[in-house]
A and B are shown apart, each in its own frame.
Chain A
């Protein structure tokens, strides 16, 4: 499997925050979800990949900018531009710009070419960025929180578009989000970042298949057993948490073990790290 993006040992120090040692690959032809709570370092990592900020050390191997489509959380078009000005301004930068494709996306998204950027809703601004990103034959889409603040219909529409994008085998997507329901079924791979560290990177199934949700009564577990529960949360009538499947044999049969969602994995992991610091 060849990689379209290779991130190796990226480090970046700020006064109040640091990315410690970020490494992961986005394989060609797949969607990778980039997850983690707010402030974990998703946006900074993406900025490093796009060289909007300079890393202290480490390398990024990615296609030429001309072949990367970018959608950022903060929109970057001139407020006073009309939708059609966006094409006028940006098309000259791309040898493979396709006016026809762009016009097609505008009509698919219901974007009026005469509307001003400042008159568009957040969802529409994201779709405008997507239309640009998809109109110059990019081989990698990098999206930073494209679905945050959107309603379920718009989110589904964007996810569907991404699935369509990777349906030709040489295209890939890196998609950061904290709304994991968007990714649970769609993303082939997941990279999970927490407090500036990569906690997991690999196939989605490997992450959700590695852990289980565990709950039970307060006196079900010995202290040693409690130590194995990630994000252990006792409450007046019981406890809940997450456990690695490998440790399941060490648990008593009285506890309840269930499948776990990506959301819960993030919650318990975050809680665990919070406890340690």
Chain B
């Protein structure tokens, strides 16, 4: 197996015994509740990624508890590939969380439709997607921190993470109560394609920079 894939797989096997179904279900239901509350489809993507962001620390915390940095060094992968594997794992985690919630949301809509509940609206999607993009940036900031400082020391900083997520949430709220923002956004509606392109490019650059930074930091760690 490719060493990067093997590293991502190792992360998965590491985290697996700690994924308690009950906890996952609760998280999913809460996210789903929010989706229903805001009545917006793209909310699913946002909340999926939010849950993924919360789980991001798992391979780091479990790894640190079990002295796994030593294990990674003894493996034939090399530190750079271990880092790449972790990013691949993070990507998979996001994809998985989003997929699950999107599928559940679709089900929710079908069932809701049968019960005569109002269908989810589509026009606020862009706002939610931009918040999802914000989450990508948060993740891209967190990973290098974990690689540099390890889990225990980063945990203090994760308080900051929580604050950022809350801020993102407040932003989301303010959007509901601020017609001005809606106006700006609807003004941008005409330029959706270039806007998406620019955002995607910026995100790609941020993630790339994050990977380079993580590799640089992790190379210098001593265990």
Contacts and interface: CB of A to CB of B under 8 A. Distances in A.
Asked if chains A and B are in direct contact (CB within 8 A), the reply is: yes
Contact of B67 (A75, A88, A90, A92): A75
A54 B5 contact: no
Contacts of B17: 78, 80-81, 85
Given A53-B223, A93-B6, A78 B76 contact: no
A76 B6 contact: no
A66 B70 CA distance: 15
Interface in A42-82: 47, 50-54, 64-66, 68, 70, 72, 74-81
B62 A78 contact: yes
Contact of B18 (A76, A77, A80, A85): A80
A17 interface: no
Interface in B74-125: 74-78
Contacts of B73: 50-52
Contact of B75 (A47, A65, A72, A75): A65
Interface in A96-148: none
A246 interface: no
A137 B36 CA distance: 56
B9 interface: yes
A273 B75 CA distance: 38
B73 to A, nearest CB: 5
Contact residues of A: prevailing secondary structure: loop
B154 to A, nearest CB: 19
B223 A47 contact: yes
Interface residues of A, number: 27
B66 A70 contact: no
A77 B63 CA distance: 9
Contacts of B78: 65
A75 B75 CA distance: 14
Contacts of B9: 89, 92
B220 interface: yes
A92 B7 CA distance: 9
B127 interface: no
Nearest to B71: A76
A56 to B, nearest CB: 12
B13 A72 contact: no
Contacts of B70: 52, 72, 74, 76
B102 to A, nearest CB: 29
Nearest to A66: B76
B222 A54 contact: yes
26 contacts: A47-B222, A47-B223, A52-B73, A53-B223, A64-B76, A65-B74, A65-B77, A68-B74, A72-B74, A74-B67, A75-B67, A76-B67, A77-B66, A78-B13, A78-B68, A79-B66, A80-B18, A81-B13, A85-B17, A89-B13, A92-B6, A92-B9, A93-B3, A93-B75, A93-B77, A94-B76
Interface of B: 1, 3, 5-6, 9-10, 13-14, 16-18, 62, 65-71, 73-78, 220, 222-223
Given A47-B223, A89-B13, A93-B76, 13 more contacts: A52-B223, A74-B67, A74-B70, A76-B67, A76-B70, A78-B13, A78-B14, A79-B66, A85-B17, A89-B14, A90-B10, A93-B1, A93-B6
